[in-house]
Chain A
């Protein structure tokens, strides 16, 4: 049996549950999945400003916290926290390992996901239909989703830590399982099963009771000290999802079902660089408290193309907010919104899209049904997509000016501006992508 833990789930995830896994988990592998779809584009933008940046900003803190315990316990670390600069991330890990006295620790780096130079300018973005050429110099990055194979190579070369960039989230677990059990790169059924394990654990606490609670209906104990997931994996691809004893949270058939279906689209064809995974036959059985057995996942050959996430600059978003309370608050918020909309119209074509929401009323869903009573307080939010930072700033100032010119009683005005780094996807024949693995010693 091989024990795999997930120590993150996203870049900003809590660190202490990962430390507990490193110290008490008796893990063979500790994974840190830290890279959302758009994060790689933001990281590429950061690297353009500073050649030593571009890896996950918390990589150092994470490694400082777990490296000693992992080295002592024989737990190997796999992460995509290399983001836009896996080599820089690898350098940092080597430096930390030396400082901790872990001389000789082998650190693997996976590159080759940066495919900007390989893309045909006529490549079309799936979401908008725009070509790469039409985006011109607004394009920041293009990273192909790599699979498990280069990480398996690094593990075979003795790497105790593997730092990758844009590898698919479940591929971290697939790499660990391929290395541990000797599964081949075309053992589709087992790769599908390993992908299910990777998918169930890749969001960290989202399978152990995080993102599940609804007080009085779906209660979860001890969320503040939620345990991150551990997968106890067998060579046949089956596994038990669990967490460390004494930690908060809960592992049930319900939490596992939600995570299994999370963001996958068709459960019969979950496409990754490793396999076309088929989750339709999966069964989840609660074999004990906080222990769910996963069986029945399988797979078919991997897709011929790799997904490529393209990051590009796409203007700015200006945002302004102000609150209203008491009787008539809704009508005052709407009046304030009308005033700002009329004011923004004078800015003309520089404002490409305006959205006005009343937080507490219609900002998350559609308008509430007729007859819904007025809430005691609401918050107006005006957001606009514009071409320049200057105009984006004007959006927030128009809202802030309601202090003196808008309806009575507005309070707590705030404003913000952000540059939009948009992401789109395109595809590249997998034979054109050549991952590179380097392993060095601390």
Chain B
């Protein structure tokens, strides 16, 4: 069944220089395993498209049901230089939650 990540997870985005970090946390820890299979670094990079030059690195914290995506060259040169209206990329969290995934069963 197709669902949006917003239906099964919450997220928070932050910045360090030109690197965007976005966490993705399962609302129900039981969804973590299939989220790991669906929300791969490659798919996240595709989802963000031209916004992220990459690479995208994924860190896993299984017992918290959380994934942490570290996206390089992703903030237009960094908060102070970016021309974007959201130079910190704070809204990237909600953008990640728009991603569609296949929920098993």
Contact = CB atoms under 8 A, between A and B. Distances in A.
Contact of A211 (B12, B18, B27, B80): B12
A262 B17 contact: no
Given A266-B70, A364-B95, A423 B83 contact: no
Interface size class of B (residues with CB under 8 A): 35 or more
Contacts of B78: 127, 422-424
Contacts of A260: 64
Contacts of B17: 37, 126-127, 423-425
A326 to B, nearest CB: 23
A225 interface: no
B30 interface: no
A261 B66 contact: yes
Interface in B46-95: 48-51, 59, 61, 63-66, 68, 70, 76-81, 83-86, 91, 94-95
B99 to A, nearest CB: 11
Contacts of A359: 85
B14 A366 contact: no
Contacts of A257: 23, 25, 64-66
Given A279-B61, A282-B64, A364-B85, A261 B23 contact: yes
Nearest to A128: B77
Given A267-B61, A366-B48, A366-B51, A353 B85 contact: no
A258 B61 contact: no
A258 B18 contact: no
Contacts of B48: 366
B98 interface: yes
Contacts of A424: 17, 78
Contacts of B85: 357, 359, 363-364, 381, 383
A263 B86 contact: no
Contacts of A112: none
B51 A258 contact: no
Interface of B is mostly: mixed
Contacts of B68: 261, 264-267
Contacts of B6: 217
A253 B61 CA distance: 14
Given A261-B68, A353-B83, A366-B49, 8 more contacts: A38-B79, A127-B17, A218-B10, A258-B11, A357-B84, A364-B91, A366-B50, A422-B77
B45 interface: no
Interface string A243-265: 00000000001100111111111
7 contacts: A37-B79, A262-B14, A262-B23, A267-B61, A422-B78, A424-B17, A425-B17
Nearest to A314: B81
Nearest to B15: A263
B61 to A, nearest CB: 5
Interface string A119-152: 0000000111000000000000000000000000
Contacts of A268: 59
Interface in A64-105: none
A9 B38 CA distance: 34
A260 B78 CA distance: 22
B16 A37 contact: yes
A267 B64 CA distance: 12
> Which 3 A-B residue pairings sit nearest by Cβ, starting from the closest?
A263-B14, A355-B83, A261-B23
Given A38-B79, A267-B68, A384-B83, A261 B61 contact: yes
Contacts of A126: 17
Nearest to B61: A267
Contacts of A383: 83-85
B12 A258 contact: yes
